[in-house]
Amino acid sequence: MNTYYLPNSSTAGPDHNVGIIGWDDNATTKYTQKGAWLCKNSWGTSNIPYFYISYWDKHCCRHIDESCVSLRNVVPLAYKKVYFHDYHGWRGSLKTAKECFNKFVAANSADQYLIDVSFFTLTVNEEWEIKVYDKYTGGTLQDELASASGKIFAIGYHTVKLNHPVTLKNGDDFYIYLKVKNGALAYDRTSSPFNPLGGEKFRADALVPSKAAADQSYYRTSETSPWTDLFNYEESITVNSQKVNCKGTHNFCIKGYAIDTMPVGIQSTPFMPCNNRFNLVNYPNPFASRTSIQYSVLENSSVWIEIFTVSGRVVYSFAVQKHTSAGTFKTAWEGRDQNGKPVSDGVYYAVLRVKTGRQIVSEKLKMCMAK
C-alpha cells in the first residue's frame, strides 16, 4: 500500500479531497515518527483503492480549505433499522416553508419500535417540533402516534427521543413531520463538490448524483396551503459552467431510528405526574416484603410491568397481560428478583408499558421497600 508525506518545507499545495476511513498508529511513512491516516482513493477504479498519509503531513487535516472530523468514544449503532431518504445529508435549504414530512414504510419480519428521530437545524436558537403520524389521507396527516419538541441553540444535525415508542409492523406506513419556527428546511439533492482541478471542463466525477421517488417527501408553505411533493421541486445547479437539472432528486433530511426489542430502562421512560393516565399505584408504600400494583386501561391493551432499581437494572418482569376490555387490574410483587431471591431494602420503580394499536405509552411509579 502506498504511503505519503509532504514536509513543511515543501511549496506544493494540496492535491485533492479524500475520505479518511481509519488510522494506524504504527504505520511507517517517510516521516521519522510512525502513524498515518488510512484514506480511500477518489481518482477512480484504475488506481490503488487505499493509501496512507502521515499524521505529520503538511496539508492533511490542516489546510484551511480542508475539513476534518474527530470521532471520540465511538460505540456501535444502537438501532436495528434507520429509515431515511436522504443519501448525502444537507445539500440544500428550502427557505419558503417551515413544515415538511417524510413518508416511510416499515420493512421488518418482527415488530420494531421507532424511538428516535434526527434532523438538521439551519439557524441558531431554533424552535422545532416533531410528530409521527399513522396516516396521510385526503391531503391531511392523521392519527398522531408520538411527538417531541424543544429549542436547539446551535446549527447542525440533531437526534431527539420521541415521547412514546411507535410499534412498526412489516408493511406499515408512517409519517415523520418536522416544523421549525425560524430557519429553513434541509434537503438532499444532486450536488457538486469542490473541484480541485479547476478549469471549465465538465467532469462527471465532480457531480454527486442523488435519487428520490414520488410520495416520499412533502412540504407546505403555510398551515392552510396544500402539501406539495418535493419530488416535483424545480432546481438546477451549475457544475463547471454546465447546467444540471436536479428535479426528481430531492428528499428532506429526516431520519427515523428503530430498535427490535421493547425499550427498557428508567432513562427511556417519560416521567408522568401523579395523576397519571393509568392510575398506576401500589399499596402499601412503603412496604416490607409484598405490595399490590394496580393500574387501569381504557381499551384493549397489552401490558408489561417491570421492576427496576434506581440505577435502571431490571430485577423482576411480570408476564405480559393482554386485556380485551377496559378496566382496573391488580398484580402483586413479592419483593423478589426473577430467580426468587429476596431483594434488599431501598427504592424501586415499577414501569408500566401499555400497547394499544401501534402506540406504546409508559408510566413510572416510585416504590420503597423498608423491612
**Distance between CA atoms of residues 227 and 136, nearest Å:** 10
Query: Is it the case that residue 44 has pLDDT exceeding 70?
Result: no
Query: Is it the case that residue 78 has pLDDT exceeding 70?
Result: yes
Residues of the chain above pLDDT 90, percent: 47
pLDDT band at residue 196 using 50, 70 and 90 as cut-offs:
very low
Per the structure block, which three cell numbers stand in for 292? 399490590
Domains of the chain: 1-74 (2.40.50), 81-257 (2.60.120), 281-369 (2.60.40.4070)
160-to-118, 131, 211, 350 alpha-carbon distances in Å = 6, 11, 26, 25
pLDDT band at residue 203 using 50, 70 and 90 as cut-offs:
low
**Distance between CA atoms of residues 218 and 223, nearest Å:** 13
Q: Which helix (H) or strand (E) holds 365?
A: strand 359-369
Query: Is it the case that residue 107 has pLDDT exceeding 70?
Result: yes
pLDDT band at residue 192 using 50, 70 and 90 as cut-offs:
confident
74-to-35, 70, 77, 89 alpha-carbon distances in Å = 20, 10, 9, 20
- The pTM score is 0.62
Mind listing the pLDDT tens digit for each residue in 319-359? 888 888 888 999 999 999 999 999 998 889 998 888 877 77
State how beta strands 3-4 and 50-54 pair.
parallel
Greater model confidence, 365 or 94: 94
